[in-house]
Structure 1
């Protein structure tokens, strides 16, 4: 697939930083390439208004909000925390990140985390406060449905029921606030619909062109709905239940966000690459592409890298007859990928996700990197690791420059040569 996107390197760098390095510059270019050339500037506008939350962002919010709730609990009472949603999906991620906060770690006798709603029924009397956590409140439907099916009667069992979220839509929060004594989401993380008349995501000028482009592509990325009249409409073309959200998380997008960010399609008549995929099969595809890019970079280091780079990342020997060849082992591959992702600011959870490895595997690779001096005692990038990263970056940049120089520099030039003398005559 060829990429023809007219965007300067400074803007691309700003967008990469805006997306907190969760998306690579190449992935941004691939996403922009979905649009027609005359629409790219508007697509860039979408990216400039798109907000993503990393694992560190979520941990920080949970730490602060949980601590505030804890302060308000009378002495002798305890709280129980329960993630909304099925275990194995976003609820598992929220539980994992909550357990990493200092508030949770420092109060083991006051906070109990329960993954299953069934366990809420037989708690000791001192658990008077119930805290429900979730990543995003869109239309509010998920929380309302979960309350009806899993938490019926909770208001009779607890004196205080609090909701803590990372971000949400204002119209969805209005639908659920009657369920709770307190809803705690940072005010800066509460959003209006992207194209509502009282929003200013794209300035106070007319947003009709932005909306039309998002809607037109959204109709091709979502399923139509047939009305009783026989007419067809697309209720989710701008996000589930017309939520019009511009929000994503390091592990994917909620379906409330514009489908142009999270949906993919690969049919004969229409193709679309997502920015932050929502579905597992799309995530697996992106992870596969990432691994291919790492393999390609390591092949460049193997061919053109310094002896130092080859010593650290090309350590596997293959014997064929009388000859011995150097190659890249799975440890070399993972160490290089982890070094690259850590340097780009990815969280441990996100690195495991991108590489498709377990936490135990990740810890094994970190220990291997520590032995090599790439990581320090805290498993952060050491000075040696930073030098290796910079050397690799320089090597890859020079290799690309060598391979992709303008082809004209390699062509034999056509020269009209007329000799000054021929057969002794001038």
Structure 2
């Protein structure tokens, strides 16, 4: 107990910094939760656990809005700064990640006024546009890992989008392999300001966040966590955590 107290006393400022970092997470994170999480590791690995928390790529609500503001600027360039006949929609069903992202995107894009209400629709509204031409749809979501989920939703919606002039998908972050797969199997135009390469896969040789020894230790903890995908779904090995969820592509610990 004395050793533990000494460790956390020594790293008191760091722990407070982490509490501030994860502000806005759906489940409040205080210093006691940070300490309890670190204590799940063997004592010899507490320093590494602390380092991992610092390396988590966390998207707070304010960061999400800031990133969407930049993505909206890209969208305007893509659409020639003309939003006529453009409709914004969550890619996912109600209650899923995209449904949570749409209001934040609307805030970031400054399309909050009531006069823009008709531009924001639900997936269930898509059939009414089936016979209309010249329509542009902009779907919003948070993350692309393998691309499999997006392709599944695309296949379900394709019958309603046959006459669309343009179909875009805005995401906060996306792995390049997922983007390539989506572009191969759909006509979605992916717009993101964060393209993730193999360098962002925590256990890859080219990732410089941790040493080879540290990676082996962290991989061991992922493997004993009991999660079906220790390295994240599709072995994406992501360290991204959003304020509302950690994608299943993120490592299990």
TM-score surpassing 0.5? yes
- In the TM superposition, residue 36 of structure 1 has moved relative to its aligned partner by 0.3
**Residue number among 210, 222, 231 corresponding to 2:226 in the alignment:** 222
In 2, Cα distance between equivalents of 1:3 and 1:259: 28
Write out aligned runs for 1:233-248 (5 A).
236-248=229-241
Matched residues in 2 for 1:28 and 1:76: separation? 45
Contact 1:66 1:103 in 2 (8 A): no
1:81 is paired with a residue whose SS is strand
Match of 1:253 in 2: 246
Whether 1:73 aligns to 2:76 is no
1:92 pairs with one of 94, 99, 109: 99
> TM (normalized to structure 1)?
0.51
2:206: which partner in 1? 198
Alpha-carbon displacement from aligned partner over 1:45-80 (angstroms, at most 9, x marks no partner): 211210111122222222332344235436583211
Q: Secondary structure at the match of 1:183?
A: strand
Counterpart selection for 1:147 from 127, 144, 154: 154
1:210 Cα offset (Å): 2.8
Counterpart-to-counterpart distance in 2, 1:194 and 1:239: 11
Checking the alignment, whether the CA contact within 8 Å between 1:78 and 1:110 is kept in structure 2 is no
**SS of residue matched to 2:135:** strand
Using the TM superposition, give the Cα deviation of residue 246 of structure 1 relative to its aligned residue in structure 2, in angstroms.
0.2
Contact 1:136–1:167 under 8 Å retained in 2: yes
Residue in structure 2 matching 1:130, options 134, 137, 140: 137
2: CA distance, partners of 1:21 / 1:99:
19
SS of equivalent residue, structure 1 residue 157: coil
**Structure 2: segments with no counterpart, 5+ residues:** none
Shift of 1:127: 5.3
> Could you tell me which residue of structure 2 aligns to residue 227 of structure 1?
none
Matches within 5 A, 1:2-401: 4=4, 6-7=7-8, 8-20=11-23, 22=25, 23-73=29-79, 77-105=84-112, 108-109=115-116, 112-116=119-123, 118-123=124-129, 125=132, 128-152=135-159, 154=161, 156-178=162-184, 179-180=186-187, 182-187=189-194, 190=196, 192-202=200-210, 206-207=211-212, 209-222=213-226, 236-260=229-253
Task: Specify whether residues 159 and 44 from structure 1 end up closer, same or farther in structure 2 by C-alpha distance, changes over 3 A only.
Answer: same
Deviation at 1:247, TM superposition (A): 0.7
Root-mean-square deviation (CA, aligned residues, Å) is: 2.9
Q: In the TM superposition, what is the alpha-carbon distance from 1:101 to its structure 2 partner?
A: 3.1
**Conserved 8 A contact 1:163-1:180:** no
The answer on whether the counterparts of 2:133 and 2:165 sit within 8 Å (CA) in structure 1 is no
Distance in 2, matches of 1:129 and 1:3, equals: 61
> In 2, Cα distance between the equivalents of 1:210 and 1:111?
51
Counterpart in the other structure of 1:374: none
Greater CA deviation, 3-12 or 126-135? 3-12
Q: Quote the Cα distance in structure 1 between the aligned partners of 2:65 and 2:227.
A: 35
Q: By how many angstroms is 1:10 displaced? A: 2.4
| Alignment CA distance shift 1:76-1:113 (3 Å) | closer
Matched-pair contact (CA < 8 Å) for 1:130–1:160: yes
Given that 1:32 and 1:40 are in contact with CA atoms closer than 8 Å, whether structure 2 keeps it comes out as: yes
Distance 2:101 2:132 in 1: 26
TM-score by length of 2: 0.82
> Any stretches of 5+ residues in structure 1 without a counterpart?
225-235, 261-426
Shift of 1:259: 1.0
Question: Would you say the 8 A contact 1:169–1:245 is kept in 2?
Answer: no
Q: Greater CA radius of gyration, 1 or 2?
A: 1
